[in-house]
């Protein structure tokens, strides 16, 4: 049995393609792993606080020296970090907004990028070498994009500050085993988008190796 953390980063609700793709992924996962424990974390519509001067002062103060005010300031961050420590598998739904991630998801990453909890310096003092503290975890990055060609070698690769950025940040925290599911061509619609949906569904089923378990589609999710 594994602990599964599902994070939705889209600010949209029913109109969100990344949410529907995450739902498809989770439903397919549950068909194969019914005993696993699921926990959902809403990010895109949660108005998570951005880091502040007080937050930075608290995060870089040794835990034993933090005041009550500092502890309160870090309480949401601690809650989010605890979830990451609890999880064996992360399913992250992250749409591409202006070639990067939604500001709400950026706020989430800032909240969990915690020295001494999710990362540290290799020598224990600032040395430019980062050591991740989130070990032995698997991430599935479920992405949606309006355009196409952002993959390695694609004509828009140089503009991909979405998946490359997410993988960099979580990689510094120690999560390096990352597989991607990408839904493209949202802004084109029609046949191009339909083909992208089929490709994403095929990718999910290939990764999860359904083998005899009922396969579902994005329309059924």
Domain chopping of the chain, boundaries: 3-208
CATH topology of domain 3-208: Rossmann fold (3.40.50)
Q: What is the pLDDT of residue 124?
A: 76
Q: What is the pLDDT of residue 213?
A: 38
Which pLDDT tens digit goes with each residue over 41-66?
999 999 999 999 999 999 999 999 99
Question: Using H for helix, E for strand and C for coil, what is the string for the chain?
Answer: CCEEEEEECCCCCCCCHHHHHHHHHHHHHHHHCCCCEEEEEECCCCCCCCCCHHHHHHHCCCHHHCCHHHHHHCHHHHHHHHHHHHCCEEEEEEECECCECCHHHHHHHHHHCCECCCEEECCCCCCCCEEECCCCCEEEEEEECCCCCCCCCCCCHHHCCCHHHHHHHHHHCCCCEEEEEEECCCCCCHHHHHHHHHHHHHHHHHHHCCCCCCCCCCCCC
Which pLDDT tens digit goes with each residue over 129-172?
899 999 999 999 999 998 888 899 999 999 999 999 999 999 99
């Amino acid at each position: 049995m594994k602990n599964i953390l599902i994070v939705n980063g889209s600010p949209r609700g029913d109109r969100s393609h990344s949410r529907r793709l995450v739902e498809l992924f989770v439903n397919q996962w549950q068909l194969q792993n019914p005993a696993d424990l699921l926990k959902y974390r809403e990010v895109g519509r949660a108005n998570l606080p951005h880091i502040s001067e007080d937050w930075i002062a608290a995060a870089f103060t040794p835990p034993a020296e933090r005041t009550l005010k500092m502890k309160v300031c870090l309480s949401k961050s601690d809650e989010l970090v605890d979830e990451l420590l609890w999880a064996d598998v992360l399913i992250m739904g992250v749409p591409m907004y202006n070639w990067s991630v939604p500001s709400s998801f950026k706020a989430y990453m800032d909240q969990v990028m915690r020295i001494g909890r999710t990362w540290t310096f290799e020598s224990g003092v600032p040395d430019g070498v980062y050591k991740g503290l989130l070990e032995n975890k698997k991430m599935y990055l479920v992405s949606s994009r309006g355009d196409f060609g952002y993959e390695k070698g694609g004509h828009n690769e140089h503009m991909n500050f979405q998946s490359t950025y997410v993988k960099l940040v979580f990689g510094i925290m120690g999560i390096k085993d990352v597989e991607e599911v990408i839904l493209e061509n949202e802004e084109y619609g029609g046949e191009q988008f339909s083909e992208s949906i089929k490709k994403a569904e095929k990718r999910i089923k290939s990764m999860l190796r359904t083998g005899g378990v009922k396969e579902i589609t994005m329309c059924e999710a």
